[in-house]
Amino acid sequence: MSFLFGNRSSKTFKPKKNIPEGSHQYELLKHAEATLGSGNLRMAVMLPDGEDLNEWVAVNTVDFFNQINMLYGTITDFCTEESCPVMSAGPKYEYHWADGTNIKKPIKCSAPKYIDYLMTWVQDQLDDETLFPSKIGVPFPKNFMSVAKTILKRLFRVYAHIYHQHFDSVMQLQEEAHLNTSFKHFIFFVLEFNLIDRKELAPLQELIDKLTTKDR
């Protein structure tokens, strides 16, 4: 949750996406923060009684975007065209960018370029009121869940890149506790609602097993 970061003057990679105060989604976010504070992530990610799954996924997706935005923002100085000429997560996994509209054929590009494309694309989805309605009573579109799954699948790649290529820098900056807590929350959430295909999680499977078995 974003509150993990307190009021530190972290620079974010992209502008933070705010959920309007007083809205039902804001109340849901507060609920999520309160349950996260209890330390039980397995409980914290569960759909609150009587709540709409789409809305719960929407609120958490915005929050994960803000968290990753902040985490990546702390290491942008280390993730450069020179240090990361391809977007990878270890030697076995390489990602090429395509968004289906502006760039239809996947292109090979550097990690900072890929992450810039990715975060800009996510931001555009979150800002689209027809996809992520912020007003009460406005229904979510039929394709909402498939869009949310694509967003989360892509956000996972930023975690994977940070863990594989920049964990030394994260440790140097003493950010590993934030990274681990954020990623653990993310994983518990996507596993609870089956939002990312297991094969997509392969680059961090070992870490995921470690983080999730500790809590059984």
pLDDT tens profile 55-91: 999 999 999 999 999 999 999 999 999 999 999 999 9
Beta strands 94-95; 87-88: pairing state: antiparallel
Total residue count of the chain as it appears in this document: 216
Instruction: Answer whether 160's CB lies under 8 Å from 102's CB.
Output: no
Q: For residue 10, is it within any domain?
A: no
Known binding site: residues?
A: 79, 84, 161, 166
Q: For residue 119, is it within any domain?
A: yes
Q: How many domains does the chain have?
A: 1
Q: Which amino acid is at 197?
A: D
Q: For residue 78, is it within any domain?
A: yes
CATH of the domain at 138: 1.20.140.30
Known binding site for Zn(2+): residues?
A: 79, 84, 161, 166
- b or e along 142-171 (b: 16 or more beta carbons within 10 Å of the residue's beta carbon)? eebeebbbbbbebbbbbbbbbbbbbeebbe
Q: What is the pLDDT of residue 211?
A: 87
Q: What is the pLDDT of residue 11?
A: 55
How many whole angstroms separate alpha carbon 184 and alpha carbon 41?
8
Give the model confidence (pLDDT) of 155-189 as tens digits.
Answer: 999 999 999 999 999 999 999 988 999 999 999 99
Range of the domain at 29: 24-214
Task: Read off the tokens for 85.
Answer: 């000429």
Q: What is the pLDDT of residue 8?
A: 36
Q: For residue 167, is it within any domain?
A: yes
Q: For residue 13, is it within any domain?
A: no
CA–CA distance from 127 to each of 40, 78, 117, 122 (Å)?
31, 29, 15, 9
How many whole angstroms separate alpha carbon 77 and alpha carbon 72?
10
How many whole angstroms separate alpha carbon 182 and alpha carbon 166?
16
Q: For residue 130, is it within any domain?
A: yes
How many whole angstroms separate alpha carbon 134 and alpha carbon 55?
9
Q: For residue 17, is it within any domain?
A: no
Task: Read off the tokens for 23.
Answer: 């809205």
Q: For residue 4, is it within any domain?
A: no
Give the model confidence (pLDDT) of 47-65 as tens digits.
Answer: 999 999 999 999 999 999 9
Give the model confidence (pLDDT) of 4-25 as tens digits.
Answer: 333 333 456 666 777 777 677 7
